[in-house]
Amino acid sequence: MFARRSLTSALFASCLVSVSCSDRELLGRLPSVGSPAPTDSGVRRGGAAFRGKLIFEEHFDDGNLTGRGWIDLPGGSISTEEHAPGSSSSFDCQFKIGQVSCVNGRPGRFVFDGVGAIYVAYWIKYSENFVASSDVYFQTNLDPAIGVPGESHLFTSFSYEGARFVSKLADNANIDTTCLKLNPGTVVGCGGGAFETYPFTEARSVNACNGIEGDPAEATCAIDNQSSTGYLSRRGWQSAAPPFTSSSPGKPGKADWHFVEQYFALNDVAAGVGVRNGQIRVWVDGDAIIERTGILLRTGAHPDMLFNELLVAPWAPEGASNDQRLWIDELVLAQGVR
């Protein structure tokens, strides 16, 4: 276990100063399917250019998650039957029909020093009959370490839904409830005037309820009794095409191991106003599936906002429609590079 850990760390360090090693080398793995590879020009695919200093790595070698810094009642099953190529074990999440979370718990939260850009990579595999869940999330230093997502100033989530990957943002705690537009277009408040001309300040949501600036997205503003403001303000981007072409063993299908990379960069704040230059990037097996570079993630009301918490907690908000399963392995967390 310790030899493998030091090898991964050494490879990670060397990759920071070189563009010659592939993502499979970074993790000390040589997968047989669905793995990143250099392009014909020799330039590495995937998120290598956006990966900076290593923050944390989790191999799921055993269940001692607390000993490795995870908080919020960390738990979950460890499987030695399913694991990424070259590994020996993985986190095993089993959903029973109707349940919203893993039967035996989840890794929980890992807190780190705040950064303006963050990168995470991990291997994931789904059962053949898997339908949907959200799995990996980030929160910021503006919210409690063990807080409710519905109370967040910024909460990112990444999910597999309807045969596509989806990256979402929510900032319910920022909503200006004096003027908002609910789906499918009902205006609430606004002093009886038009939503489009209401004089919003920087103290507002950037995701849906108070309007959207920057890259377009699928937006949702709805009543949410779990939110301190009473509303959900969320937007998201999905992969343009289904990420898996097959569900047959030996091909890059849903039931194979896949390498996922996510990158988030907070937008700048200039003269007290948020600048639309935030970024969201997602790669699966080295291919860019989501790429947005003109996003407003924060306003001038929160110039000190930083990412400082990773949450790994698979969640099926509507309850699993069947008995389904997923596995996560070889997680690497690093500072993002702008």
The string of pLDDT tens digits covering residues 144-159 is 999 888 789 999 999 9
The string of pLDDT tens digits covering residues 213-237 is 888 889 999 999 888 899 999 999 9
Q: Are 140 and 110 in contact (CB under 8 A)?
A: no
pLDDT at residue 245 in the model: 65
The phi, psi pair for 174, rounded to 5°, reads: -95, -5
Does pTM top 0.75 for this prediction?
yes
Confidence of residue 243 (pLDDT cuts 50, 70, 90): confident
Q: Which of 76, 91, 131 is nearest to 319 (CA)?
A: 131
pLDDT over 80 (residue 21): no
pLDDT at residue 247 in the model: 54
pLDDT over 60 (residue 99): yes
pLDDT at residue 45 in the model: 76
pLDDT over 70 (residue 172): yes
pLDDT at residue 26 in the model: 41
Confidence of residue 19 (pLDDT cuts 50, 70, 90): very low
pLDDT at residue 18 in the model: 32
Once rounded to an integer, what is the mean pLDDT over residues 88-93? 98
Q: Which residues of 268-293 are buried (b: 16+ CB within 10 A; e: fewer)?
A: ebeeeebbebbbbbbbbbbeebbebe
Once rounded to an integer, what is the mean pLDDT over residues 101-129? 96
Average pLDDT over all residues of the chain? 86
pLDDT at residue 162 in the model: 80
Q: Are 138 and 264 in contact (CB under 8 A)?
A: yes
Q: Are 150 and 227 in contact (CB under 8 A)?
A: yes
**Rounded distance between C-alpha atoms, residue 136 and residue 59, angstroms:** 16
pLDDT at residue 35 in the model: 36
pLDDT over 70 (residue 12): no
Instruction: Name the residue type at position 237.
Output: W
